[in-house]
Amino acid sequence: MYWNPNHADNESEDDQEFGFGGREGLLALIDCSDSMFNEASGKHNFREALELIEAVMKNKIITSDKDLIGIVLYNTEHSPPPPDDTEIETGIVVPKHTAIFMPLASPSADSIRKVINFRESEDLFDFGRKFGHSSDSNFSDVLWLCSRLFTRCGYKLEQSSIVLFTSNDEPHSAGSYQYQQSYVKARDLQQLGVNLVLVPMVAEFDGSKFYQEFICTVADEDPEQFRFPCYQESRDCLLNRIFRRDFRKKALSHINFQLSEDVALGVNIYSLSR
């Protein structure tokens, strides 16, 4: 599945759902290769990704505070545990060149402050020494970790979503073993109903090398009908979609119709526009 802000989401109230309206789990997956830290273009892609994640968390804490958000780093040199006392669910093995910065949890003032402090830190919490940079992550292993985090989060999720921030348009060369593994994992994500949003962090991102077919495999869409998004489109889609999804979550009113002595019909009224 792939997020499309023009597709209507079916939502109901928090814990009084009439058939749906459960929690969403969202994992922000950030590429930590050198190109994400290169400021030659006048912007720092890694910090920009953190800023967008911060905005998502602020939206969530206001409108869907029961949803879960986590942050996973890949293409790191080292794989340290989260930089606090957060426990990782037993049975989750972090692949090489990958790190869990923030396990899936409901957004809070503390978790938002943690992201802000990380982004505003001059050396990103001594990132080079603690995490480091590489280009050696196996993309299928990274996606496996995300799937594992969803299934072991402790809640039954209505929706699971991965938001991928990267400036590398070719994580594995075509025909390589890692390339083939990635497409196997894409089909797994499709079967699991996991959403995937790609946020390309550079203007010169060539989706035809890898990600266009990959995204269409996850979304079960026709590549010929798919238009690859630019950074601004992906950013706006992400923020608008989260707001719109939650904006309709609360019923404005509830009406009971007494159809007969023994039969009543309850109707919730929602606003579909803002």
> What residue spans define the domains of the chain?
23-269
Please determine, for residue 161, whether its predicted confidence score (pLDDT) is greater than 70.
yes
Percent share of the chain, pLDDT over 70: 82
**Nearest CA-CA partner of 143 in 119, 163, 168:** 163
pLDDT tens digits along 198-234: 999 998 999 999 999 999 999 999 988 888 888 888 8
Give the mean model confidence (pLDDT) for residues 164-178: 95
Q: What is the pLDDT of residue 13?
A: 39
Give the mean model confidence (pLDDT) for residues 3-7: 39
Q: What is the pLDDT of residue 218?
A: 96
Q: What is the pLDDT of residue 228?
A: 86
Task: Give the C-alpha separation, 182 to 171, whole Å.
Answer: 10
Q: How confident is the model at residue 38 (pLDDT cuts 50, 70, 90)?
A: confident
Please determine, for residue 250, whether its predicted confidence score (pLDDT) is greater than 90.
no
Q: How confident is the model at residue 271 (pLDDT cuts 50, 70, 90)?
A: low
Q: What is the pLDDT of residue 122?
A: 94
User: What single-letter amino acid sits at 193?
Assistant: G
Of 108-112, 134-138, 148-152, 225-229, the poorest mean pLDDT is in: 225-229
Tell me which of 200 and 5 has the higher pLDDT. 200
CATH of 23-269, one of 3.40.50.410, 3.40.50.2300, 3.50.50.60, 3.30.1330.10: 3.40.50.410
Q: What is the pLDDT of residue 242?
A: 57
User: What single-letter amino acid sits at 75?
Assistant: N
Mean pLDDT computed over every residue of the chain: 85
Strand arrangement, sheet containing 98-105: 98-105, 68-74, 23-31, 157-166, 194-200
Please determine, for residue 81, whether its predicted confidence score (pLDDT) is greater than 50.
yes
